[in-house]
Amino acid sequence: MRYRTLGLTGIEVSAHCLGTMMLGSVGNPDHQEGIRLVHAALDAGINFVDTADMYSAGESEEIVGKALQGRREDVVLATKVHFPMGQGPNRGGNSRRWITQAVEDSLRRLRTDWIDLYQVHRPDHRTDIEETLSVLGDLLRQGKIRAFGCSTFPAEQIVEAHWVAERRALPRFRTEQPPYSILARGIESSVLPVAQRYGMGVLTWSPLASGFLTGRYRKGGTIDLSSGRAALHPHRFDPALPVNARKLEAVEQLVELADELGCTLPELAVAFPLAHPAVTSVIIGPRTVEQLEGLLKGASLVLDDAALDRIDAIVAPGTNVYHPDGVWTPPALAPSARRRPATERAAAEAAADR
């Protein structure tokens, strides 16, 4: 396993990061199997483990905490805060009040005294970024976290956070965790260049594009919209919709390329993000040890310029064939924020109103 420095933190992390969203009730509820999965990843040379408080309502953190007993010193442990963790208006978000409580809850579930990378899972338009940076800086000084970063922040908000940190003499985001895959390349135009500009480490998620790059969904094949992820979000999988037909068309071309390279489609998909110079580590989120082993088979795959040119021809750089699942939508894009009242949309008043 190859290791890379996580931004300017000086922390060395594996080029593959074990994502644990599938550990717990949402994915694999068997704690012993989850522990075995984590151990298999560590034995394969992965030293970077990413989780979040909201994964299976904290259960993922609990499984990771059990798995790291006796091996904590050798692991770079990352978790996240933001999404609601229970009933009540103040049980989520990026406020000092919530982060102060949430970090203690995560430390307890993870059975550790410190978190190596504490990430703000999404932006929070209700909370001043100075408030968030301030409390994260306090946690650094208290030794409860070693570094902090953001996840799925748009480029302009990353820039704002760095500007506020400099202006107020506060610690700054050291990492960004964006979605990135062959089918979702939008971050190449701004997020990745901004991360490079500020010396941020980048750990990317969803390299398999919500399953479209596993080979499970093929053009002309039957897609079961009544089970699994497709049942939760049928509009993202229904082949009758043009946006999904475009995904399936791209998949067919990528399968052909993978065959020519002598690799599987998932191996091609996971290797792609690592070719970008801004990317530090790619998060892989297997549900079983077998899935992990399948992904690790392609760990040494090198995509040459010819292969990357072929990918560029299938999905143009800086574009999204679709918007990745779960991406935060800026409040400014809500219809109510983009549309004036109907009576104010014309350049002149109607004659009857004069």
Residue-wise pLDDT tens digits, 193-248: 999 999 999 999 999 998 999 999 888 888 887 777 777 778 888 888 888 899 99
Is residue 325 very low, low, confident or very high in pLDDT (cuts 50, 70, 90)?
low
The pLDDT of residue 328: 64
Nearest CA-CA partner of 249 in 183, 305, 307, 187: 183
Rounded to the nearest 10°, the torsion over CA 176, 269, 221, 290 is -100
What backbone phi and psi angles, to 5 degrees, belong to 162?
-70, -40
SS3 19: strand
What's the pLDDT score for residue 354?
60
CA–CA distance, 228 with 22 (Å, rounded to integer) = 13
- Give pLDDT, residue 165: 98
Strand 16-19 and strand 12-14: pairing? unpaired
Question: Cα 191 to chain center, whole Å?
Answer: 13
Active site residue 198: no
Cα 82 to Cα 31, 94, 320, 333: the distances in Å are 25, 6, 25, 20
Mean per-residue pLDDT for 95-123?
98
CA distances from 138 to 103, 143, 145, 175 (A): 12, 9, 9, 18
Q: How confident is the prediction for the chain on average, in pLDDT?
A: 94
Per-residue pLDDT band for 33 (boundaries 50, 70, 90) equals very high
* pLDDT range class, residue 326, cuts 50, 70, 90: low
- Please tell me the pTM assigned to this model: 0.93
Confidence at residue 237, expressed as pLDDT on a 0 to 100 scale: 85
Identify the band that residue 150 occupies on the pLDDT scale cut at 50, 70 and 90.
very high
Which residue out of 3, 55, 180, 217 is catalytically annotated?
A: 55
The closest alpha carbon to 273, from 199, 340, 324, belongs to 324
- According to the model, what pLDDT value does residue 226 have? 76
pLDDT band at 331 (very low <50, low <70, confident <90, very high): confident
Per-residue confidence (pLDDT) for residue 251, from 0 to 100: 97
Residue 353 has a pLDDT of: 61
* 347 CA to centre of own chain: 43
